[in-house]
Amino acid sequence: MAGGKIKKEKARKGSGGGSNPHFQGGIPFHKSKGQHILKNPLLIDSIIQKSGIKPTDVILEIGPGTGNLTKKLLEAGKSVVAVELDPRMVLELQRRFQGTPFSSRLKVIQGDVLKCDLPYFDICVANIPYQISSPLTFKLLSHRPLFRCAVIMFQREFAMRLVAQPGDTLYCRLSVNTQLLARVSHLLKVGRNNFRPPPKVDSSVVRIEPRKPLPPVNFKEWDGLVRICFNRKNKTLGSIFRQKTVLSLLEKNYKTLQALQLSHDGSLDDTEMALAVSALGNSLEDLSMDVDDGKDDEEMEVDDGNAKGSEFKEKVLNVLKQGDFEEKRSSKLTQTDFMFLLSLFNKAGIHFS
């Protein structure tokens, strides 16, 4: 079931649907839960084909609705684990496949996918409620053991942010964090009329393949750096790291670590790593995130150099100069650039977590 806001529609006479004329199997759809059922069978076949499902695959489906995609997944793979929040849809799924050869190969979990523990799966194929796009993406990427790939229907703008490259208008913290953990590719654009009821926005199907092994980076440190850099992504890093709030935060971390005399090697066990990966998706739910239009409508509180911490400020700026980053902008930096910048700061004893 896809999400996204839809326009209110008046009920047709004789529809029996009250204010909601959209039914399947006698079930009215709740737009507040992002219930937009994929109805185009050719599109469903295309998603199955592009997913590369193997006959031995355990498939995770999120928000199966009435089971249009579920049926095709059961035909293609070994078994399907479907997570569904709406108890009405759970009953409809069970009714639809009861007494069929698929019944024993379908497991339905009723609950909130963001709160429940996910079982083992090889591949995720889903048409999700769009309001959970960001937290779900990072919950999947924090799942262990790592799955082979996920093929997911997102709101088109969110999907374009996932695949955006340095210099693209939509390149943002979501792009950087997702691509740190996975290879992301756009598979196909999906018009709103392929759903019942049609959402207000177009959609896109994206393929997400977790990187194995994960890059050798402390994810808490990485997220701290990237949050600062994308706060004003079209400003130069020199101006961003001259802000009083940024310098104050970094100096506090610096002094704390010096006082504790910690090596801060950044090593994490599996549980800590999963939590850190999941945390990369925090505060990314809003699609307006990290959009810097380049306008100076807000004055940045810049350190004037006369403060007590001016010596530390010079230390920070020297790191930027050392890597030739002072005049560069976050909107143009690659994954490699961010990793190099983080390593320079850490070597100087400056940390972000």
For β-strands 203-210 and 182-190, DSSP reports them as: antiparallel
Q: Tokens 């101006």 map to which residue? A: 239
Cα 58 to Cα 265: distance, rounded to the nearest angstrom: 37
Q: Tell whether residue 9 is among the known ligand binding residues.
A: no
Q: Tokens 């703008």 map to which residue? A: 157
Hey, how many other C-beta atoms are within 10 angstroms of the C-beta on 122? 18
* SS3 of residue 134 by DSSP: helix
Q: Tell whether residue 3 is among the known ligand binding residues.
A: no
Q: Helices 156-163 and 133-141, interaxial angle, to 10°? A: 40
CB burial string 35-44: b at 16+ within 10 A, e below: bbbbbbeebb
Q: Tell whether residue 38 is among the known ligand binding residues.
A: yes
Report yes or no: 342 and 222 within 8 Å, Cβ to Cβ. yes
Cα 115 to Cα 76: distance, rounded to the nearest angstrom: 28
Q: Tell whether residue 16 is among the known ligand binding residues.
A: no
Report yes or no: 305 and 313 within 8 Å, Cβ to Cβ. yes
Q: Tell whether residue 84 is among the known ligand binding residues.
A: yes
- List residues bridging with 105 in a β-sheet: none
Q: Tell whether residue 75 is among the known ligand binding residues.
A: no
Cis ω before 216 (30° cut-off from 0): no
Residue stretches of the annotated binding site: 36, 38, 63, 84, 112, 127
Residue stretches of the annotated binding site for S-adenosyl-L-methionine: 36, 38, 63, 84, 112, 127
